[in-house]
Chain A
Amino acid sequence: MQTLFDALSLGSLYALGALGIALIFGVMRLVNFAHGDVISFSIFGLLWPSVDAVAIVFAGELPWFLLIPFVLAMGAGLSVLSEIIVFRRFRRANPATMMIASFALGFVIRYFLLMLFSSRPKSISLLPALSQPVEILGARIPLLQVITIAATIAILFALTAFLKRTRFGLEMRAAAENFTMARMLGVRANRVIMGAFALSGALAAAIGLILAAQTGTVDIQMGASVMLMAFIATVIGGLGSLPGAVLAGFLLGAASVVMQTVLPIDARPFRDAFVYGAVILVLIFRPQGLIAARGTKERV
């Protein structure tokens, strides 16, 4: 039971991260390596600049229903800003150029945080009420884990409904599949791209919030490890495929947790190597990803 919840909650993080990457890849063919730094930034946005070991949370007194939107807005804002300031200029560049630009942007964000906060991890207590355990079927599960899973599922449903039911969602799905064609049909390209960045940034912020609440620490590298796994999830899910990204995110989370429990003690430190090994196997047998996105070829 505990293992199942661990797997689901880790999978949730990866799935949310993968979704954020896949959304942007879908509309712009950009693998945004700055995504991890958006995760960190949205949490640091809650803090006063300081080099202390204990974070000074200026927004920490906010009740949760203000705190959460605040963090999400922080992520969305940074993400949209990065599209306006950086990626818009690379619209016509090839994917490799855009990827390098995203690395550069990631460094800028990370070093900006480094300047203000130093590289020292800080302890933070966000939403402390959530670390209480709850009993589910005899197992004691931290409330936060339950909420993480529930929130992820809620986000997935909300996102699906948004993409299916709204006009903007329709435009986004069309643009994600074939941007050139959507544009020819008069779909408002800039709005769709900004929307994708805003959503992606909000998802990144949600991850940041969960991570900070879970671990009780924040550090400027915190987004990087999630980003790496999330990126791998988007690749094995089939780049650009949103359901694929989510599925692969959960699978990766499950694989990590399962390996943590079934591997012999001596092999556990190398858990990630086994996970990556499994990833390689998947890619050998399904190089197009688990759920291939059909619109990845473009031609005018």
Chain B
Amino acid sequence: MSQLSADKLSVAFAGLKALSDVDLTITPGLITGLIGPNGAGKTTLVNVLTGFQTPTGGAVSLDTASAKLNLSGLKPYEIRRRGIARTFQGGRLFRDLAVIDNLEVTGVGLGQSRSKARAEAAAMLDWIGIGALQNRIAGTLPYTDERRVAIGRALIGKPDYILLDEPAAGMSGPEAADLAALIRRIAAEIGCGVLLIEHNVGLVLSLCDHIVVLDSGVVIETGVPASIRVSEKVRHAYMGTAAETNLPVLEVLA
């Protein structure tokens, strides 16, 4: 079976352990949630999975139907070309470029011809439902549209896996609900394995098939939403840092 997996990943920054022996599996077509208090190591984990950060221990591997690839040591674009895409906190689009150019340059970076990249970019914007925005300069977009463009950019080339780093940050309730619908379609229609990092725990609990809880670089709990919801360990991790965490988290967990 195809899957993207982290095996005993560790990252240490000058003595500080950002991740210790983290195991994680992402499966195509399923949505995996990654939650944890601030500083738990969630973004670090995504950085390691996508080649932005070299782990100090452990390995990342990609199982496909035919082979098992070790991804450790590959550069970000090499990992992207193997079908693992990501978004960044805050979107990080090319702000001076038109929306469609943002997607197109990704296709070109993946080695497509310009005309093919353009056609796919236009089709992708339509699929997301923001086809009307294609000629807008990315830097002028409202926040939520910027996020959707960033997701569109990550979906260029039909990756097998997509890692979303806080896609709903700063969104209102209805906006987050729209985003949730989009994420479901990504898993169901494109068949991506989705890793969703979110502070909005309510969104994660309602959307994910499987959830991993990280605290201080250690996986403290894994399971289906129903079991995470009632987990004492998870509640404790969030309670312990309640001062920095959004309060809705507690309401949902309680």
Contacts and interface: CB of A to CB of B under 8 A. Distances in A.
Contacts of A293: 96
A174 B95 contact: no
B107 to A, nearest CB: 9
Nearest to A184: B76
Interface string B99-142: 00110111011110110000000000000000000000001000
B94 A181 contact: yes
B75 to A, nearest CB: 8
B104 to A, nearest CB: 6
A295 interface: yes
Interface string A177-210: 1100111111100000000000000000000000
A166 interface: yes
B87 to A, nearest CB: 12
Interface of B: 52, 76-77, 80-81, 92, 94-97, 101-102, 104-106, 108-111, 113-114, 139
A182 B105 contact: yes
Interface in A147-184: 166-167, 170-171, 173-174, 177-178, 181-184
Contacts, number: 63
Nearest to A185: B109
A300 interface: yes
A174 B97 contact: yes
Contact of A167 (B77, B108, B110): B108
Count chain B CB atoms within 10 A of each CB in A178, A182, A185 and give the residue with the most: A185
A182 B110 CA distance: 11
Nearest to A188: B109
A189 to B, nearest CB: 9
Nearest to B153: A185
A120 interface: no
B94 A178 contact: yes
